[in-house]
Structure 1
Amino acid sequence: MDKQELGAFLRTRRERLRPEDVGLVSGARRRTPGLRREEIAVLAHISTEYYVRLEQGRAPRPSGDVLAGISAALLLTDAESEHLHLLAGTAPIQTGLHRRDVRPSILTLLERLTQTAGFVTSATFEVLAWNDLAAALMEDFGALAPADRNLARKVFLVSDGDGRGGPLYGISDRAEFRQTVVMRLRTTMARYPSDPAVIGLVEELRSGSAEFARLWERHDVQSVPMLTKTFRHPVVGDVTVDCDSLALTDRDQHLVLYSAPQGSRDAEALALLSVLGTEGIDMVPDARR
């Protein structure tokens, strides 16, 4: 049980609620955002003293029934409720290290996707495997050290001169991707609390990026799916793709697929990239730098 993180998560979820969200009268004498602790306690059918101690990180581990009541009172989503149980230590927590080995069947699948850019990311956003089209669209991951293949580092720590983080292949939804990275890393931290790689990455991002630190303090864990994405490629120009991210739950990894409707201009651009390969990027001076 991570008492401090649990308390902080409960506080941020409580402060985002309005009285009218749970059927209460707002009133004019509220001087702080969100609901009062005693209101959450009543809605959750627990004592105010116990709930206050939970937020302060001083309470013993709550039971599953208590967490269910608090989850309902705070109007938590399924992802937020799962995160609450992880923090409280009432859900199975994976111990040891997060997995970086990719299933052979997934590697074979990537090779067969000739018209779709595909790659696999770890629980810490390291690109573990990729096909040729993904390398042509993004970059030659095989030429990089594992630490440099981490998309979280790329989006928060690689400067492009404007103080907002790295260009990350010119993607159109950089802000949304940053939020997704933070939310998933918070869940990863709860699942692998003793993994040095996870701890080190989060500490590196918190100290190296003010934006990451700001988003981290929000304690959000519900990400918004990204359905489309536009890449600004140095050779073929803007390429808009459909995004599908499939969870590989047995290894806590994601298979990410970028495709385009058949016959579209974007599909033609992907077809051209499949022919050019990573050599197409090398044709442009200082591409991706």
Structure 2
Amino acid sequence: MDRAELADFLRRCRARLEPADAGLTAGTRRRTPGLRREEVAQLAGASVDHYTRMEQGRGSRPSRQMLSALARALRLSEDERDHLFHLAGEEPPRDRSGPGQHVRPGLLMVLDRLHDAPAQIFSDRGEVLAQNALAVALVGAARPGHNHIRAWFTEPAGRALFPPEDHGAQSRIHVAQLRAVFATRPDDARLVALVRELRGASEEFRELWAEHRVAMRRAEHKRFLHPVVGALDLQCEVLLSAACGQSLVIHTARPGSEAYERLQLLRVVGVQEFAPRWR
């Protein structure tokens, strides 16, 4: 691990990134260009103290999970992400069995500019890779490594965010999408492990898998039951990035509608802790 070079690289990447590039409000009294340390820490889900020590060439060796989070927070390209891993004495991620979890900076830039619509980036395996602030306010912050398909079938309390009469349709959509992806990459070790896990853990998943329905998720109508702002009838749009096996999922409401007004209220309410919540 090259602490001095790692610290220098982090500082320079932070300095070149403007708040708007990361979906943040610039505010006032910025004496130097770039993001503040506390902003990078917030984006990466790290403590300010831990990130500060890394920039100062001190502290413990960052975990692979933290390095991936920093790569997303600093909007690094794939080459820059690999360089970050090398400086920390780690081998960069090499997922030869399918698309990786590194989100392209351009896709993150689109996500950052969606201020009035909840939006998330998913891998085609169902992993939540990035969220904007309104998505966190709507469905909660996804923990590292969170897979929303796994959670749907193994954490039933999280389904409370959706009307009970919609659960069956959502289950079928999740399984049909996973079936379609599985057919394209039957040797994807993580995908094989996920399907094996869900077939063993959920009778509902096992039955739906046996039906062999195939469909990729695209546009659909989706209903939410938020614990603060109430019912939200939203249009779900899915923008696929076939080259990297990722999708940008955006929820919108028609301007002037009740759902639109409630989304605006949700922007004001912001991120709070509600339980149980679908993530």
Structure 2 counterpart of 1:268: 261
Structure 1 counterpart of 2:75: none
Distance verdict in 2 for CA 1:184–1:227, change over 3 Å: closer
**What TM-score, normalized by structure 1, do the two folds share?**
0.59
List per-residue Cα deviations over 1:135-186 (Å, max 9, x = no partner): 1011112xx131xx211112111134xxxxx416225632222112111212
Structure 2 counterpart of 1:288: 277
Does the residue aligned with 2:116 lie in a helix, a strand or coil? coil
What is the distance in 2 between the residues matched to 1:227 and 1:185?
Answer: 17
What is the distance in 2 between the residues matched to 1:238 and 1:247?
Answer: 27
Structure 1 counterpart of 2:245: 252
What is the distance in 2 between the residues matched to 1:201 and 1:245?
Answer: 22
Residue correspondences, number: 183
Structure 1 counterpart of 2:198: 205
2:218–2:239 CA contact under 8 A, matched in 1: no
**Structure 2: gaps (5+ residues):** 1-94
Structure 1 counterpart of 2:149: 152
Verify: 1:169 aligned to 2:168, yes or no: no
Does the residue aligned with 2:211 lie in a helix, a strand or coil? coil
What is the distance in 2 between the residues matched to 1:256 and 1:135?
Answer: 13
> Aligned-residue CA RMSD in angstroms?
2.1
**What TM-score, normalized by structure 2, do the two folds share?**
0.61
Shift of 1:259: 0.7
Which amino acid is the alignment partner of residue 167 of structure 1? R
Shift of 1:124: 0.8
Distance verdict in 2 for CA 1:224–1:196, change over 3 Å: closer
1:119–1:129 CA contact under 8 A, matched in 2: yes
1:234–1:287 CA contact under 8 A, matched in 2: no
Structure 2 counterpart of 1:133: 134
Q: Which has the larger radius of gyration?
A: 1
Structure 1 residue ranges (4+ consecutive) displaced by more than 4 angstroms after TM superposition? 223-226
2:217–2:238 CA contact under 8 A, matched in 1: no
List per-residue Cα deviations over 1:162-218 (Å, max 9, x = no partner): xxxx41622563222211211121222222222221111000110001111111111
Shift of 1:97: 2.7
What is the distance in 2 between the residues matched to 1:195 and 1:222?
Answer: 19
**Structure 1: gaps (5+ residues):** 1-93, 161-165
1:95–1:192 CA contact under 8 A, matched in 2: no
Shift of 1:244: 0.6
List per-residue Cα deviations over 1:236-256 (Å, max 9, x = no partner): 111111111111111111111
Structure 1 counterpart of 2:118: 117
Which amino acid is the alignment partner of residue 132 of structure 2? N
